[in-house]
Structure 1
Amino acid sequence: MDSTYIRNKRKSIVFMLFLYMVINFADKAVLGIVSTFIMQDLNLSASEYGLIASSFFFFFFISGIVFGFLSNQFSTKWIIALLVFIWSVTQLPIVFWPSFWVLLICRILLGIGEGPAYPVAIHALYKWFPDQQRNRVTAIIAQGGPVGIVCAAPLLAWFTESYGWKNTFLCLSLIGAIWLIFWWSISKEGPLDQYAIMTTDTSKPMVVSYKKLILNRSILGVAFLSFAAYWILALLLTWLPTYLTLGFGVSLLNMSIWMAAIVLITIPMSLGGAAFSQYLFNKGYSTRYSRAVLVSVFVFLGGLCTFLAVTSGQGRLGIFFLLALGFAFPNLAFSLGPTIIAEIVPAQQRGALLAIVHSIATSAGVISPLVTGWMIDRASMPLAGYTQAYLLAASLLCIAGMLGCVLIQPAQTRQKIIANQKANSDIGHIPLP
């Protein structure tokens, strides 16, 4: 292919996948933004709202794995188009028949469509970029999440106050449909796969046991980091808006600005972390240090900042800043985690492993809102329940950060996989162009 064409196509794919994640997270964030109106209009308790918030993640795990395996066999262009179609359609019943059960079912269906979104997007991206160029482009795609929340929080709050919370879901449905039209016109499968483990006659790639891959210490380490990072992300999406409203007495619009500002801090943190990782890699540091240790330290620091936010007795500004850092630091796991997985796993199994690890991580999205709602309902005062929830999140982040430092050794793991397959099957390692 012509190099100019490839450069231009890479840019368009990165841009479209970035917007894809912006819409994805706007869909996730909308429930938290309109939560006060929904709870009042439908007379929901904190536990009932927590169930609706968690229902989004009920089939995340299954959907992510199923579509992850499909992405190894079928075009990512088609798969992503199907997922966005599901997003757009499932918003509509909420507009016309709002009730507890309609919200519950629609959020479950939306979760099925959005569960595989990030790993399939990364799998599609890596078909255009080799390993040494993946840190920054992965970070760009990952920033679609924070940007989606930053844009969604004030805009959807304004739209809700102006046109009602039901029409907010209609707006998101239309945005998804418009993106889908452009994606179908622009997108194309990339030509590149990083490496494959081949049989002796090079007729087809050799498949490594998925059990061995999933139970590998490095992949488990990435899964632990991602699980803890998603725990606090789910806390941000579902309970941070009501915490800001109850804890600080701010209006809906001001709450959305506060939330946007908190999330905004994650963008330079993640891009800076990815750039620093690339700098270390270019200076000759192994991916053990330039990726694994770095992301583990970031996740640990997120836990430490979250702990200090609720225990240090800071004023409003201090709590705000520490909470922002607590949400920002772990976000690097969504950028560097996939690059570690892609470095370890053969290309022909990459889509499935990215989806499996992502599905394990997003199971935190089921547990976190439910546990938080349970803590709030059973605390002597709601704010005490929030404090307990943030302390739990801080503990998970610190533990995961320490485990990541110990467990993840990307290059060593990759060489071990190749050596084992050679020993068992007399195979060779063939890099693809």
Structure 2
Amino acid sequence: MTAAPTVPQQPVGATEATRRSNVRAWIVTGLLVAFMMVNFADKSVLGLAADEIRADLNLSATQFGLANSAFFLLFSVAAVVVGMLADRVSPKLLLLIMALLWSVAQVPAAIGGGLAVLVASRVFLGAAEGPAFPVAQQASLSWFPNEKRNLPGALITVGVTLGVIVSAPTLSWVIQNHGWRAALWVLAVIGAVWCVAWVLFGADSPRARKTVAGAATADDAPQVPYRRIFASRTWIGATLAYLTSYWTVALMLVWLPSYLRNALDYSAGTAGTVVVAPWAVGALVLFGQAALTGRLMRRGVSSKRARGQVGGWIMAIGAACCLAVPLTDSVVVQTVLISLGFGFGGSYASVAATTVAELAPPARSGGALGLMNAIVTVGGLVAPAVVGALVDAHGEAGYQQSVLVSGVLIAVGAVLAFVLIDPERDRAQLAG
């Protein structure tokens, strides 16, 4: 009698450890979704209170736009510095410090003061929030292998959308009933609550801990200089495409509520609800993109097509909708087109993040994502001021002109995504 063939089995202890690691990965990802929700609630509050703040502080549209642009003054610098630091320091610690600083940054303007206090608090807040997206993406994606990163990457980005969807009606109610400074206190408290949850349940991935400790892995050797990553066509294409997309995000955050109220004649309460429409569209686009990209990659389709071309088509649809807005006088149709245009056009973040995460070795992903985010947020620095100047110069027509500018920029971003992005090609060149 011969012995029955046996099938090698994974040790029970290893299986249980893997299961616990998977559970912890999704807990961390869920907390980071909430992290990004708080982040974008912080960003959106001034846009929701634009008319009230301008009336209270006697600001022109240009002055208000510049005050919002001040948020991005140190945003880019902090994104680069902390992004690279995240390759060496615990992401868990960095995220905790950032969230604590957000809460502190809300306090001066919440207490009182004029334009100078508002600008100073926004500069401080921008510096604290600049690294948030790249570090959150790095902290989440490091728990997952490349072929499973699309969903967590999309979820982190959807946190941006959910932050506006949840906060817009809530903060609008607070602003209308208790004033815009009360809304800042609400955000300070929410940020502090998140910090407590992160201390209790947050964690660095095993791979992140090895990188911080200096342990070498197969993915880390040989070490690739940052300059070679930044010179790759994929990194350049993803960064520039994301820059055009972020212009649209900044416009939505700062000026869309005023656009709805002053150009399309929605009431303050209705505008606080309608303003979530493009963000809701964006959430659907993000999940759709994640599902489609994941399916394509599981079928062996190249990431040039699965990420580069899918991302390019998303932006192309957004551009077409924005450019079509002047073709109709119907408020309803314009609202639909703006929602689709901004929803599609502003949804490139997760494509950019997962593309760069695929391109860069793990020990360089923080810096690669950080510099990308720094360049991208130049759109946030410029867009609010430019739109404010257009509104002061052309009145209600300035709002529509800003949508056309966004459409042109997103179209350029779509072309760059189609032409330049090929992570597999460029990763092979980096390894050579």
**TM-score scaled by structure 1?**
0.92
Q: Where in structure 2 are the equivalents of 1:21-420 lying within 5 Å?
A: 21-192=36-207, 205-309=221-325, 311-379=326-394, 382-419=395-432
| Contact map agreement 1:199 1:206 (CA 8 A) in 2 | no
CA RMSD of aligned residues (A): 2.0
| Contact map agreement 2:173 2:269 (CA 8 A) in 1 | yes
Q: Which amino acid aligns with 2:424?
A: A
Change (3 A) 1:201 1:180: closer
Deviates more, 1:75-84 or 1:370-379: 370-379
Unaligned runs of 5+ in 2: 1-13
State the secondary structure of the residue aligned to 2:388: helix
Q: Alignment length, in residue pairs?
A: 414
How far apart are 1:199 and its partner, in Å? Answer: 12
Q: Which amino acid aligns with 2:311?
A: V
How far apart are 1:388 and its partner, in Å? Answer: 1.7
How far apart are 1:330 and its partner, in Å? Answer: 2.6
Change (3 A) 1:336 1:166: same
How far apart are 1:374 and its partner, in Å? Answer: 1.3
Q: Deviations over 1:134-187 (max 9, x none)?
A: 001110111011111011110001111222111110010000001001101111
| Contact map agreement 2:248 2:346 (CA 8 A) in 1 | no
User: What's the % identity of the aligned pairs?
Assistant: 30
Q: Deviations over 1:37-60 (max 9, x none)?
A: 110011011111001110111111
Deviates more, 1:256-265 or 1:397-406: 256-265
Give 2:21's aligned residue.
Answer: 6
State the secondary structure of the residue aligned to 1:44: coil
Q: Which amino acid aligns with 1:406?
A: V
How far apart are 1:97 and its partner, in Å? Answer: 2.2
Change (3 A) 1:203 1:17: closer
Q: Deviations over 1:225-279 (max 9, x none)?
A: 1101100000000011111001122221111001012321211111111111111
How far apart are 1:200 and its partner, in Å? Answer: 12
Q: Which amino acid aligns with 1:244?
A: L
Deviates more, 1:202-211 or 1:161-170: 202-211
Q: Which amino acid aligns with 2:131?
A: P
Q: Distance in 1 between matches of 2:261 and 2:217?
A: 64
| Contact map agreement 2:240 2:413 (CA 8 A) in 1 | yes
How far apart are 1:122 and its partner, in Å? Answer: 0.7
How far apart are 1:75 and its partner, in Å? Answer: 0.2
Q: Distance in 1 between matches of 2:200 and 2:217?
A: 39
State the secondary structure of the residue aligned to 1:101: helix
Give 1:20's aligned residue.
Answer: 35
Change (3 A) 1:56 1:33: same
Change (3 A) 1:204 1:414: closer
Q: Which amino acid aligns with 2:335?
A: F
State the secondary structure of the residue aligned to 1:132: helix
Q: Distance in 2 between matches of 1:132 and 1:201?
A: 19
| Contact map agreement 1:130 1:192 (CA 8 A) in 2 | no
Q: Which amino acid aligns with 1:313?
A: T
Change (3 A) 1:201 1:27: closer
Q: Which amino acid aligns with 2:153?
A: T
Give 1:428's aligned residue.
Answer: none
State the secondary structure of the residue aligned to 2:251: helix
Q: Distance in 1 between matches of 2:215 and 2:134?
A: 27
Q: Deviations over 1:196-233 (max 9, x none)?
A: 9x999989844322222112111000011110110000
How far apart are 1:384 and its partner, in Å? Answer: 1.5
How far apart are 1:389 and its partner, in Å? Answer: 1.3
| Contact map agreement 2:261 2:271 (CA 8 A) in 1 | yes
| Contact map agreement 2:313 2:414 (CA 8 A) in 1 | yes
**TM-score scaled by structure 2?**
0.92
Change (3 A) 1:377 1:127: same
State the secondary structure of the residue aligned to 2:87: helix
Q: Distance in 2 between matches of 1:280 and 1:121?
A: 25
Give 1:429's aligned residue.
Answer: none
Q: Deviations over 1:285-327 (max 9, x none)?
A: 1101011111011112111111112x21151111111111111
| Contact map agreement 1:269 1:328 (CA 8 A) in 2 | yes
Q: Deviations over 1:375-413 (max 9, x none)?
A: 12122xx12211221111111100110111011111000
Q: Which amino acid aligns with 1:402?
A: V
Change (3 A) 1:204 1:54: closer
Q: Distance in 1 between matches of 2:263 and 2:273?
A: 15
Change (3 A) 1:318 1:208: same
Q: Distance in 1 between matches of 2:194 and 2:346?
A: 25
